[in-house]
Amino acid sequence: MTTPIRVTVWNEGRHEQTHDAVKAVYPNGMHTVIADYLNGQPGITARTATLDMPEHGLTEEVLANTDVLTWWGHVAHDEVDDAIIERVAQRVWDGMGIIFLHSAHFSKMFKRLMGTSCQLKWREANEKERLWVVDPTHPIAAGLGDYFELPHEEMYGEMFDIPVPDQLVFISWFQGGEVFRSGCCFTRGKGKIFYFRPGHETHPTYYDANVQRVIGNAVRWATPPQNSVVIASPCYQALEPLE
């Protein structure tokens, strides 16, 4: 038996408390929907954490026992403590995977790891999004066909100010005329990062079977590497004789 992948599903969790429209879609918070899906997958065990918990639920102990962290935030990016941001960054560099969902593109955490402004065009018009697979060799596209659709989503459009992704898995088409790099892979240190675009809080996106499948695939892909490569700055003795 291999040990299960330990996921922590992190959510800002504010919209679900303050907006009736969001509460109607996600009465127990979108983190619960995501965690429930993941807990139904073989080889994955998920728990949740939210902004309003002590240390935002991201204690040293929680992170030490997290293989992959998922992150959703929107209105309270600035309330995330800088010390927690640094703690999570360190854990990513040490190998923890991290998956950023939708409006987490503008979180302190994503910006910290990207080094860019992370800006983009946006529009709330309940329009159609169609996500096309452009890398059919990538494990994050497992189980999908040429594309999948979401009938109603917020629009995000290019120019999306991110570093060039190491791998680009999805490109979105929007009804209103824009495109977007919707599934982007990066590495930082020994950690793998996936940005996945869909998930506006007023739409039932995290109940969608394809969206769930992608999140599950991304969790498996982002699981920490098993090697003993050391990331450090040692004064290093020569391996060959130097006269």
Site for its own copies in 168-197 (CB under 8 A): 168, 171-179, 181, 186-192
Decide: is 207 part of the binding site for its own copies (CB under 8 A).
Answer: no
Interacting span for its own copies (CB under 8 A) from 32-40, 72-80, 115-123, 200-208? 115-123
Cα angle 128, 8, 193 (rounded to 5 degrees) comes to 60
Decide: is 134 part of the binding site for its own copies (CB under 8 A).
Answer: yes
Of 163, 211, 216, 220, the residue at the interface with its own copies (CB under 8 A) is 163
Nearer to its own copies, 29 or 216 (CB): 216
Decide: is 227 part of the binding site for its own copies (CB under 8 A).
Answer: yes
Decide: is 75 part of the binding site for its own copies (CB under 8 A).
Answer: no
Closest CA to 185 of 169, 198, 172, 171: 169
Decide: is 3 part of the binding site for its own copies (CB under 8 A).
Answer: no
Decide: is 83 part of the binding site for its own copies (CB under 8 A).
Answer: no
> Could you give the count of Cα atoms lying within 13 Å of 193 in the half-sphere of its Cβ?
28
CB of 186 to its own copies, least distance (A): 7
Interhelix angle 30-39/209-222, nearest 10 degrees: 70
Decide: is 214 part of the binding site for its own copies (CB under 8 A).
Answer: no
Decide: is 43 part of the binding site for its own copies (CB under 8 A).
Answer: no
Spatial neighbors of 171 by CB under 8 A, at least 6 apart, are 131, 132, 134, 179, 180, 181, 182
CB of 178 to its own copies, least distance (A): 7
Of 133, 202, 207, 210, the residue at the interface with its own copies (CB under 8 A) is 133
> Residues 74-77: contacts with CB within 8 Å, 24+ apart?
74/12, 74/14, 74/15, 74/102, 74/103, 74/106, 74/201, 75/12, 75/14, 75/15, 76/12, 76/14, 76/51, 77/12, 77/106, 77/107, 77/108
Other Cβ atoms less than 10 A from the Cβ of 147: the count is 15
Decide: is 122 part of the binding site for its own copies (CB under 8 A).
Answer: yes
Decide: is 18 part of the binding site for its own copies (CB under 8 A).
Answer: no
* Size of residue set near its own copies by CB under 8 A: 76
CB of 12 to its own copies, least distance (A): 18
Decide: is 76 part of the binding site for its own copies (CB under 8 A).
Answer: no
